[in-house]
Structure 1
Amino acid sequence: MAQKGIQLDRETISCSICLDLLKDPVTIPCGHSYCMNCIKSHWDEEDCKYSYSCPQCRKTFTARPVLLKNTMLANLLEELKKTGLQAAPADHCYAGAEDVACDVCTGRKLKSHKSCLVCLASFCEKHLQRHYESPPLKKHKLVEPSKKLQENVCSRHDEVMKMFCRTDQQLICYLCSVEEHKGHDTVSAAAERAERQRELEGSRQNIQQRIQDREKDVKLLQQQAEAINLSADKAVEDSEKIFTELIRLLEKRSSDVKQQVRSQQKREVSRVKELQEKLEQEITELKRKDAELKKLSHTEDHNQFLHNYPTLSPLSQSTSSIHIRPLSCFEDVTVAVSEVRDKLLDVLREKWTNVSLTGTEVDVLLPQPEPKTRAGFLKYSREITLDPNTANTRLLLSECNRKATVMKKQQSYSSHPDRFTDCWQVLSRESLTGRCYWEVERRGRVYVAVAYKNITEALLLISLPR
């Protein structure tokens, strides 16, 4: 509350010329108070030296008033200064180079709070008060501060332009409307603004709708990108699992082959060693027998030789001869594994095209601008020829099947399942895809349209009236 009181006192004891606290306050006959130097300078600068006016109420005085110091205001100011009342507005209240300055302020100008389209002037908060208090001024149109107020003044008649010439598409004043713009389609600037405001709102609605459509498209593309990422991640994950399973299967088969080979190796080596031991035992026995026979053969006593000879044990049956095959015990295994490898490589080469990265492309076509000139259309031009197998028998095709003419006499076309029999129509041979453009020269009524021969083939349809 104390701060509010200080603010109220400050407005009361401020000079409306310098907008600062009163210095050497003086009161003129109308009751308004100013700094002595401010009011002196103001009257010194006035063009007319036969009357003097109050800067606030505009009351005039024939004789220049004698200025006497207002002692009560001076004492009040001294007391308020002791309470901490600031001597000047904050710097941010003054108009800078980019701001709109108050047109009433003298000396250092304050920022404008509003601009008046009737007064064609800008006012700070203090000088704007009269527009809120005076009934005639209340009717004025106030807008945000503008530096372009003079653009509303007719350069020819120095009048505010309140009318709009639709013929010449320019703002005019009333005098313009009865002189050089006489007879033109003229309306008030407010009426033209209302009309263009409606157009503007329509344009905004169109823009907002397009923004919504594009935002939907962006959302769809984001969803598409997310779907692509999810699909790719799943494909990579599934592929890694499959290849991991395949690697594990190959490792298991490799382990099985290794185990089978080692097992067979152990059995074969064991059998060979068993035969080797038998042969070594037989060799030992034969050597012992040979030694006995050798000893007996050296006996000199014939009787003793004949006596001991029958006691010799007979030779045991000899082991069958061993036939060693060429060393190729496990070559078949190597051959078999090589065949598996070759078949696997063949399968990979044959099927890899199906596994290669041929993912579905995102088919997104941004809308292309509509052509405005014939040259722009010709970029999409298509050469059309007519299909004789579809032409009705009342149509004559000529000029390399590019011209169709209605004939009174039926033409002798061969029978064909695609021929029109009830309607005087003919299809083009060419299929039309994407954006297409063609030109047709005609005499009489000719209907040109796009038809569908089947679900995949779009054809040009030309129909002539009966």
Structure 2
Amino acid sequence: MAEASISQDKLMCPVCLDVLKDPVTIPCGHSYCKSCITGCWDQEDQMRVYICPQCRQTFSPRPALNKNTILAAMVEKLKKNKVQTAAVGAQDVQCDICTDRAVKSCLVCLNSYCPNHLQQHESLFKTKRHRLMEATGQLQEIICPQHDKMLEIYCRTDQRCVSYVSMMEEHKHHNIVSAAEERTDQQRHLDKTRRRFQQRIQEKEKECEELRDAMESHKRSAQTAVEDSERIFTELIRSIGRRGSELIQLIRDQKKAAVRRAEGRLVQLEQEVNDLRRREAELEQLSHTQDHIQFLQSFPSLSGALGSTDISSNAVGSLSSFADLVKSVHQLREKLENFYRKEMKKITVREPKTRADFLQYFCWLTLDLNTVNKHLCLSEGNTVITSVSCSSGQI
């Protein structure tokens, strides 16, 4: 049984947490259900980068999925073992007369019998048939330890199974009902409890799916932020390349931290789903038991509160988009460009348009008498020129 349990653990799909169905292996060596890994990678088609859900190794282009024939054979063998185990029964009870496996237990003799000794038992008590049930190793648990009588009725006052002798003595004035009636009543509670478990499983599975979608969206957002940041800072790489690299690293660190927290929460949620499924399976098995006493004794321990280890923080909410960060980077670029244009105005020579602009270049001129035009007449100090045919003009 231990070997089968180990094999089943190794044959679990990391995505659906169930035994592998149509197992395939990807290039990094990890194996998944074909439908599970196909569904995961279909969501990544837009990015053209495909990630292993376990080791996070990336592949591009999309790898082909090859069937793992060894795992497929192991899965089939495991299924056959489960069928054989179910046919034999979860519990083998030994005959109290010999070493063969018992098939029936006598509630009067308090013994279990194999087919041969059961026939002898029937022959011995053919005039007074004893009450038989499916073979069980828990006969002593359905016998009253005080009166050595079979437990057949239920005391609601003390909430336990009692014998008829006990009913007439210490339970004389208590609320007594038949085991069948109490079983019917508690069966309704069991069904309600199972529905609550099923609802909780659905809620957890939905939360897992939402968390996976949020993680993928978060990763895509982070990748987009990295690409946009690289494009923006490439334009300014000579002046602010170092700061661009720091921002990219910050994005990656935040993504890594957020994904790590989300993955931790995802593992917890998947564990809770497994626990809920296990308890629901136990309730399912109990609901089909034929022995009322065994049912009544086992149900209280299985019908406890659902319990929850929910963390107050919202793991999906923590996987926020990097859109605001990208917006800030765009704004930073605009501010830098505005600052650049503003500063360039101060250092770029502008064409003078006003008197004040011209006066910036004012200086006194001295004209050369030897090169002056013969139609021009210079004043004393050579600062005023007068045309012979025109009125004078001051330079």
TM-score by length of 1: 0.30
Max radius of gyration: which structure?
1
Higher helix share: 2
Structure with more relative contact order (C-alpha pairs < 8 Å, separation 6 or more): 2
TM-score by length of 2: 0.35
